[in-house]
């Protein structure tokens, strides 16, 4: 059953697969493109200056450095642009799966040992001192928000074995509520929720009037 924002739900005989897709914001994509072009640009400069190659050690090192920058830029760019998340629910475990063109990672957590699921939204961020000031010509507040979103590890989390497990990068509150509803339909009371969920539901109900 497809949902908005590329989230989809696939029901099996004894499982539920939630595909969160790739949810990189357009502004963050622009930053990724800028980093990729800048890095490959420097690599190209090193490569051009290294020729004619000959047997000079500095030229050979410049070529190796250029190759390293090309590989690094390609890996970072495609790993972040094409990152996809999936949640696989079974009766006993929750698997969080992340996939990129270069890697596949699956982490399994038992419902019995999971703490309550929390929603942290965009996380808490201290406002920039120039926020709201007429002389904030350089957009410091906007830049700080972009950096914050860039390094955000996920908007959902639970504690497991004394450590927080974050996932759901780019998931906003309305999508998070839908995901939780589907998880509860499948797993029932095994899914514990933090107190903020009740407040979120009340705010949305008030907003409907």
pLDDT higher than 90, residue 70: yes
Which ranges of 50-157 would DSSP assign to H, the alpha helix? Answer: 57-81, 140-150
State if pTM tops 0.85: no
In the prediction, which pLDDT does 146 show? 43
Instruction: Tell me the per-residue pLDDT of 141-199, one tens digit each, with 9 for 90 and over.
Output: 444 444 444 445 788 999 999 899 999 988 888 889 999 999 999 999 899 999 888 87
In the prediction, which pLDDT does 188 show? 92
Judging by beta carbons within 10 Å of its beta carbon (0-12, 13-18, 19+), is residue 56 exposed, middle or buried?
exposed
| Residue among 150, 145, 139, 153 at smallest CA distance from 125 | 145
Whole-angstrom distance between the N-terminal and C-terminal Cα of the chain?
28
Q: Which residues contact 79 (CB under 8 A, 6 or more apart)?
A: 100, 101, 102, 103
Instruction: Tell me the per-residue pLDDT of 110-131, one tens digit each, with 9 for 90 and over.
Output: 999 999 999 986 444 334 344 4
């Amino acid at each position: 059953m497809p949902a908005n924002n590329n989230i989809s739900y696939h029901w099996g005989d004894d499982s539920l697969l939630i595909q969160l897709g790739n949810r990189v914001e357009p502004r963050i994509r622009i930053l990724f493109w800028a980093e990729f072009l800048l890095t490959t640009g420097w690599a190209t400069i090193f490569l051009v200056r290294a020729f004619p190659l000959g047997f000079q050690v500095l030229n050979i090192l410049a070529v190796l450095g250029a190759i390293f920058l090309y590989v690094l830029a390609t890996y970072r760019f495609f790993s972040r642009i094409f990152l996809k998340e999936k949640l696989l629910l079974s009766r006993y475990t929750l698997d969080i799966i992340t996939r990129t063109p270069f890697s596949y990672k699956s982490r399994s957590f038992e419902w019995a040992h999971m703490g309550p699921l929390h929603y942290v939204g965009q996380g808490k961020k201290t406002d920039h001192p120039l926020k709201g000031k007429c002389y904030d010509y350089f957009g410091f507040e906007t830049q700080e928000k972009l950096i914050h979103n860039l390094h955000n590890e996920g908007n959902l989390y639970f504690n497991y074995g004394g450590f927080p497990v974050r996932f759901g990068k780019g998931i906003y509150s309305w999508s998070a509520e839908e995901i939780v509803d589907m998880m509860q339909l499948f797993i029932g009371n095994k899914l514990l929720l933090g107190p903020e969920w009740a407040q979120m539901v009340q705010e949305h109900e008030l907003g409907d009037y």
